[in-house]
Amino acid sequence: MPTPILPRIDDCECTPNVQHLFRRHHLLQSPMYYIRWIYAAFYSLYLLFFMEPPTDRDIVGYIENTTMVMLIRPAADGRLGEYEVTVRDCKLRASGGYKLKNMSLRYKRGKRGVRLLSFTRNGVRMSNRGQIFSTVYFYHTHSFHTKSHLFSNSLVRHIVDNNVKILQESSYTSIPLHYELLHSSLSVLEWDGNVSRYLGYGGACIRESLVEESRNMSALAGHQAMERWKSHGKDSFAGKLLRSRLALQGVMERHEIDPKLLDPLFNHVIVHSLDHDGISQWSFLRFSLHPWDTECSIYQAFNTSMFRILITQPNLNPLAPNTIRSINKPFYQDLYRELRKIDPKMADVVTASVMY
């Protein structure tokens, strides 16, 4: 009796059947974080000279070019060109005892570009663009993006337990990565409110609250709402995600892969890496990682940059990148070819598993 693939991030213990994956991760992927740290420190110092505070365009552009796009709805009162993003019942907490319970953003897309009309957080109206961007970033990276990680542990266990050779590359790194995030003192997340960050980086989100928030998958129902995605247009981020899903479905059929794996593979391979690629287009913005900071000092801007380079930008071992492009096997090559037809640059960043 095959076990169903359940969305759960905390199912990441090193059980005997996945020990080889932990060894592989420690050997090939872990050293990258240390090497990358040196690069991140120098690059962040350099970026400090060029960072700009976020504008309305950045806030809306970020939402439209990451998985946050799934939350965009035409304005409830039907005004032409106006859109809303609403989040309710959020469980995320930030250090210092702050809670993000809800947020709501409204913007207008017109002839003269985009304009933010309003933003409220926990029922309070805000206008500080840096804080607004920080709040959206905090919610996206710790709640919405995390949802693309949720099938990975279970999917990897399925591949290992059933010895699904054709998907072997999709088993690498994901479980040990989640284990480090949730259980090690090197995690960028905060452990029960006391800081374990000592490498010059660290986020503002409390680890337990991320796990709690990850239990609510209702926001991802957007995956099924294909009609809504189409409304964004064929070449928008949402449109490309939709076309990638159809491409994956076709390739899976050709290679006789169990169709039950469609949603898990879609998130694990495509959504996760494209979302990171989307985020990394905003590397030059100056804002504090903590959504309740009202200012952004040089030190805070530096911390944000370290977090971005180490955590949200693709962090691969160049000798073993595990991008589908680099895997010389029929299923991955076939998928790579199909994704290239949608967007060649996009196809190059897709990885066979959750690698960072």
Tell me whether residue 164 or residue 199 sits nearer to ligand NAG (CB atom): 199
Stretch that binds ligand NAG, among 110-118, 198-206, 319-327, 343-351 (CB under 6 A): 198-206
Q: Is 327 helix (H, G, I), strand (E, B) or coil?
A: coil
Q: What is the 3-state secondary structure (H, E, C) of 142-181?
A: HHHHHHHHCCHHHHHHHHHHCCCHHHHHHHCCHHHHHHHH
- Subset of residues 103 to 122 that bind ligand NAG, contact rule: CB under 6 A: 122
* Binding mask of the shown chain, residues 250 to 269, with x at each position contacting ligand NAG by CB under 6 A: --------------------
Can residue 202 be called a binding residue for ligand NAG (CB under 6 A)? Answer: yes
Is residue 287 within 8 A of residue 134, CB to CB? The reply is yes
Can residue 295 be called a binding residue for ligand NAG (CB under 6 A)? Answer: no
Give CA 209 to chain center in angstroms: 17
Both tokens of 250, joined, read: 């076709």
Tell me whether residue 103 or residue 354 sits nearer to ligand NAG (CB atom): 103
Alpha-carbon gap, residue 277 to 244, rounded angstroms: 15
Cβ 211 to ligand NAG shortest distance, Å = 14
Per DSSP, what are the bridge partners of residue 85? 72, 105
**Residue of 123, 256, 295, 328 that binds ligand NAG (CB under 6 A):** 123
Report the sign of the C-alpha dihedral through residues 33, 37, 43, 49, in that order. positive
Q: Fill in the amino acid letter for 134.
A: S
Cβ 21 to ligand NAG shortest distance, Å = 27
- Owner of token pair 């210092």: 96
Cβ 123 to ligand NAG shortest distance, Å = 3
**Residue of 53, 61, 74, 314 that binds ligand NAG (CB under 6 A):** 61
Which residues form the interface with ligand NAG (CB under 6 A)? 61, 64-65, 87-89, 101-102, 122-123, 191-192, 194, 197, 200-202, 216, 218-219, 236-237, 281, 299-300, 303
